[in-house]
Amino acid sequence: MAHIYTFSLIITNNIQYVDRQTYRQRVNPTYLQTLQQQKMAEAQRLQQADVAGEQFMFSTREGREMQQLDRTASMLGAAKQAEAQADSDRTGAITGAIGSLTGMAGAYYGSQPTG
């Protein structure tokens, strides 16, 4: 029983000692200054983390927009290429039709008796 009482006194004395030390630190100007510096450092760290997050979001968004622009430019290039091919095919068809008509006319007039 005496051991429990002694142990209890030791714990009580330790708690009182810690309380006194905490009080001294809190009224100590350097402690307050250190605490303020810690708060400022934490605020700065949070601000830097926020800025880093914003930069990440911006670069991600910019990357997506660039991919969309690249896809759009690629589709536009393909459309222009298809248009150029269609123009070439049309020109070839017209040229072929004229050549066929010329050949048919030549064959017709060549088969007619002269005279």
Using the predicted structure, report yes or no on whether residue 42 has a pLDDT greater than 90.
yes
Q: Model's pTM, two decimal places?
A: 0.45
Q: How confident is the model at residue 115 (pLDDT cuts 50, 70, 90)?
A: low
Q: What is the pLDDT of residue 113?
A: 75
Rounded-to-integer distance, Cα 12 and Cα 31, Å = 25
User: Quick one: the chain helix, strand, coil %, rounded to 5?
Assistant: 95, 0, 5
Q: What pLDDT was estimated at residue 22? A: 77
Q: 1-25, pLDDT tens digit by residue?
A: 766 767 677 788 788 877 777 777 7
Integer Cα distance of 6 and 2 in angstroms: 6
The per-residue pLDDT for range 46-105, each reduced to its tens digit, is 999 999 999 999 999 999 999 999 999 999 999 999 999 999 999 999 999 998 888 888
